[in-house]
Structures are given as structure tokens and as C-alpha cells.
Chain A
Amino acid sequence: MAALRDRLGNARLARAIQRTVKVYHPADPIPNPGGKGVVATNAQTVEGYLQTLCSGGSVAVDGVSGNVTMAAGYCAHPKLWGWVPFTSTASSADKSKEPTGCNCLCDMVSAAATWWIEVNDSDWPHTSGHTVTTVSPNSDKIWGAATVSGKASPIDPWLVLGHELCGHAWLHQKGLPDENATRGEGGHQETVERENLIRAEHGLELRGNFKDPYCGESFWRDKAGPGPVEWSSFLAKCEAWRKKTYGGKYKISDKIP
């Protein structure tokens, strides 16, 4: 038992010092055109987003290296230390207020692959390779998606990060399906489900699925004004799919039962 405890203790220590999520250019300031926005580094900004996704676990981003860390033992399941083998006991992350967000960060921080987080206001948020991007609070755009009730609702930058990191990247890391080729015709739903788990933890209205009004699709609009809603082109695909599948029975603003 002592040897087992040593091995497990080493594993736990290893987890505490693993750094497999990193922030790009952590010491650089976030974009701040005009100089009137939030003044912060990429590291500080992402740390705030991650701490919103998981308010426990002492999530931190090193301001020099960009390494993301969590408190030692926060992610560990006590079954590793228990006296009854195979009895699953909840981890601190499981018992947190945001189990989806916290377990996502636990999984990503302990992943074998390195994942990068980039703050980028000049492009659409995205996941490519092992990099996820999100926007800064100074972005000139409001990003959003249609909710279950059909409202074109803004998505805060921390949730944009949640969508990319705990949706696409997490599904990839876990080897789970993430079908996006048929987005607008039923694809992209696994990541939306992940986003909705996070939304539920924060008391936010859920994002719609492809049968809900506006197909749960994403949009952007200029903050100044604010400007009109600019829907993603996937909405047009969804409209075409509705027309083909149901004729003219359901408008894009309708929910399909």
C-alpha cells in the first residue's frame, strides 16, 4: 500500500506540475485600439476567462511562460487514495459549482498534447490544430448565437473560449465525435451540447440546436451602434435544409418539434 501510495503521490505531483495548456504571447498586451479599452496582458485576460469557467481550483496563468496551472489535487479522484478499490468518489472539480468547466480544464491541463490559447480580435474565433482562439474584451465585435427561445444573444469572451476549449478541443482530446462537416444540417451539435453544459452552470439560457429558431447559429455584430446581426453562413445552409426536409412548413424563426 505504501508503494502504491508513493506511485500515486508521484502521479499527483506530476499532475500538479504538468503544463499542457499555454497562452500565446502571455506578456503582450491585449489589443486596445484607441487606447480606451481594458489594459491587460494576454495572460491576465485568459486567466480571468478560465477562472470564470472554473471558479475553484486556483486556475492560474503564468505571466511569463503562459503556462496554465491548477491546484494540486483539485482534479484527483479520491478513489486513488481510498481503501476500497474501484469505488468512485467525486473529485473537488466534480463537486465544484462548475463541474463541466472545471473538469474540462483538469482534462486539458493534464492532456498529453499541448494546447494553446490565443487572444485574437482580428479574426473569427476558432479551433485549428491544437490552438483555440477567443476575443479580448476590447474587440469591436459582439459575438453571439441564437438561444433556444430564438434570441440573438451575445456570448461573452469567456464562453467563446469555453466553446472552443471545452467544446471542440476537449472533444478532440477525448477522442469523442465532433461532427462539423454537416453544420447547418445537423452537425456541430456535440460542441453546442458542451457549451450548453457550461451555460447551465452559469444560469444562462441554453443555445439552440439546429431544430431551434435560427438553428442555434452564431453571429457577430459591431459593438458600435450596435450594428445589425450578421449571421453565420451556416444559417443559410440550415434554411435550405429546412426547406428540403419540411417544405415551407417551418420558417427559420420557428422551432421544429
Chain B
Amino acid sequence: MADASLAGKVIVSIVSALVRTSPVAWHLEYEVRNTEQTPIWLVVDESLVLRRDGQRIELSCARGKMTPGAQPFGYFDPKVVEVPPGGSVRRSVEIAWPARLSGLWNAEREVAPPPGEYEVSVRIGHGTTPKPQPPGLGESVEAPVLRWQKEAVSQPVRLKLPAYKAAPE
């Protein structure tokens, strides 16, 4: 399985990738390794951001930026798990097709790419402290979170997307 590092110290790699056919879904397991001398705090929010560029699809488990005009009931710090120095964490992401996504983080709530082969990567977010600084006056509540968060992305793996049933209107 493809393994990759991103400029340094936190390495994310996809360790397994399964294609389910009924219903059609992808199940990816990824590992985040902390090669730093200090702990990191990995973002483990439930939300998923999907970015597609042709035959490339990125599944981001990092904290995203809210879509313009979105009004959240509240804005909350990311959920995190600590990864000690030299340690690693395995997480998984499952996505059924057509994909149902949160409109808080994604421009489209339902994404239905055509069947075919895709290069799929996983993005993660992490911080060097357990939580971001609180927002200050005059700044967006998102700003400290996005400043706090560093990101890493895996090398892609090739995954087949079989034909699937489109969602009913």
C-alpha cells in the first residue's frame, strides 16, 4: 500500500483501502505517525470534506473552513486525540456513494462522481497543543482553529468506484 510523508514530521499513510459493492462504499484505513520529539493532537471530528479534481479525490478529516453564509448553532474546538512522540494512531474513513456530506463544510451536500478509477488521498489536521487559542475580538471564531491546525496528506491510492445507484431526489 502506498506510504508517504509530508514535509517532515507527521506522516499519514493509507494502510488499507476496500471497495464495497452493495451498497457501494469505500473504506480506507490510515495511519498517522508522529516522528516529532513532542506530542501532537490529531483532529478526529466526524465531519468529512471531499475535494474532487477530475480523477483525484481527497478525503479530508482535517477541520475545514465553513461554507460562506453558513450559520452554525455554535462553533466548537476540534475533537482531538493525542499522539505521543514516536507514536502512531490508526483511523478509518468510510464513504458511501453517492456521498452525503455536511453543508457546513462542503459546497455540495451530495456528490456523485462517475464510476471509474480514482486516485484517493487522505488529509489530516493536527496541532502542537491540545486546543487552539480562544478567538479574540473582531476575528472570526474559525481563525484561531485554522491557525492552530497543521495539515498532512497521504500519497494517493488507486481505487475503483463501481457503478452505483444515484440518490433519489
Q: Mark B127-151, 1 if CB is under 8 A from A, else 0.
A: 0000000111100010011000000
- Minimal beta-carbon separation of A72 from chain B (angstroms): 25
Q: Which residues of A contact B102 (CB under 8 A)?
A: 120, 122-123
Complex: how many Å from CA A145 to CA B47?
22
Which among B2-10, B68-76, B112-120 touches the partner chain? B68-76
Contact B141 A234 (CB under 8 A): yes
**Which residue of the partner chain, among B67, B72, B135, B145, contacts A237 with CB atoms under 8 Å?**
B135
Contact A234 B69 (CB under 8 A): no
Q: Mark A80-95, 1 if CB is under 8 A from B, else 0.
A: 0000000000000000
Q: Which residues of A contact B74 (CB under 8 A)?
A: 124, 217-220, 231-234
User: In chain B, what residue has the closest Cβ to A116?
Assistant: B109
Q: How many B residues touch the partner, as a band?
A: 20 to 34
| Interface residues of chain A: helix, strand, loop or mixed (majority) | mixed
Q: Which residues of A contact B47 (CB under 8 A)?
A: 122-123
**Which residue of the partner chain, among A127, A185, A240, contacts B71 with CB atoms under 8 Å?**
A127
Q: Which residues of A contact B70 (CB under 8 A)?
A: 126-128
| Chain A residues within CB distance 8 Å of chain B | 24-25, 118, 120, 122-129, 131, 133, 143, 160, 163-164, 168, 178, 180, 183-185, 191, 217-220, 230-234, 236-237, 239-241, 244
| Chain B residues within CB distance 8 Å of chain A | 46-47, 67, 69-77, 100, 102-105, 109, 134-137, 141, 144-145, 167
Known: A123-B46, A127-B71. A230 touches B76 (CB 8 A): yes
- Minimal beta-carbon separation of A162 from chain B (angstroms): 12
Contact B135 A143 (CB under 8 A): no
User: In chain B, what residue has the closest Cβ to A241?
Assistant: B137
Contact A236 B71 (CB under 8 A): no
Contact B69 A233 (CB under 8 A): no
- Minimal beta-carbon separation of B131 from chain A (angstroms): 10
User: In chain A, what residue has the closest Cβ to B133?
Assistant: A236
Q: Which residues of B contact A160 (CB under 8 A)?
A: 73
Known: A233-B134, A233-B141, A237-B137. A131 touches B73 (CB 8 A): no
**Which residue of the partner chain, among B46, B72, B103, B134, contacts A236 with CB atoms under 8 Å?**
B134
Complex: how many Å from CA A138 to CA B147?
34
Contact A131 B109 (CB under 8 A): yes
Complex: how many Å from CA A126 to CA B144?
21
Contact B73 A126 (CB under 8 A): yes
Known: A131-B109, A236-B134, A237-B135. A124 touches B72 (CB 8 A): yes
Contact B73 A240 (CB under 8 A): no
Known: A234-B141, A236-B134, A236-B135. A126 touches B103 (CB 8 A): yes
Contact A220 B69 (CB under 8 A): no
Contact A131 B103 (CB under 8 A): yes
Contact A233 B71 (CB under 8 A): no
Q: Which residues of B contact A168 (CB under 8 A)?
A: 71
Q: Which residues of A contact B141 (CB under 8 A)?
A: 183-184, 232-234, 237
Known: A126-B104, A128-B103, A129-B103. A218 touches B135 (CB 8 A): no
Q: 14 interchain pairs (CB within 8 A)?
A: A118-B103, A118-B109, A122-B47, A126-B70, A126-B104, A128-B104, A183-B141, A218-B73, A219-B74, A232-B74, A233-B134, A237-B134, A237-B141, A240-B136
Contact A164 B135 (CB under 8 A): no
**Which residue of the partner chain, among B69, B73, B135, B137, contacts A124 with CB atoms under 8 Å?**
B73
Q: Which residues of B contact A180 (CB under 8 A)?
A: 71
Q: Which residues of A contact B135 (CB under 8 A)?
A: 184, 233-234, 236-237, 240
Contact B69 A128 (CB under 8 A): yes
Q: Which residues of B contact A233 (CB under 8 A)?
A: 74-77, 134-135, 141, 144-145
